[in-house]
Amino acid sequence: MSVTTIKVDSAVRDRLAGIARARGVTMSGLLEQESRRLEVEQYWSEVEAAHRRMQRDDPGGWDDYIAELAEVTAGEPDASAAEEWPEYNG
């Protein structure tokens, strides 16, 4: 693993250090966890933006998408999926 240095305001550094200490992790560990959380958040933000664009620019395509989605998601929820990926359960 290669390591690098980043410059941040000392108030930001102190805030991150306090959060890391409270969680019992290193600042590097905290940044790793939070960067992954932010990455997932960014992904879903982009998915939602694409959905909004499709609704706006291609209403017929959106209706087709929703109809197809209803077909593949019909039935009982898959409990094993919820257990396998708990981070995606609201």
pLDDT tens digits, one per residue of 6-57 = 999 999 999 999 999 999 999 999 999 999 999 999 999 999 999 999 999 9
Q: Cite the DSSP H helix spans in the chain.
A: 10-23, 27-57, 59-72, 79-84
Task: Choose between 76 and 53: higher pLDDT.
Answer: 53
Q: What is the domain partition of the chain in residue ranges? A: 10-75
Question: What SS3 class is residue 85?
Answer: coil
Write the pLDDT tens digit of every residue in 53-75. Answer: 999 999 999 999 999 988 887 77
**Reported pTM:** 0.69
63/57 Cα distance (integer angstroms):
12
Residue 90 has what pLDDT?
64
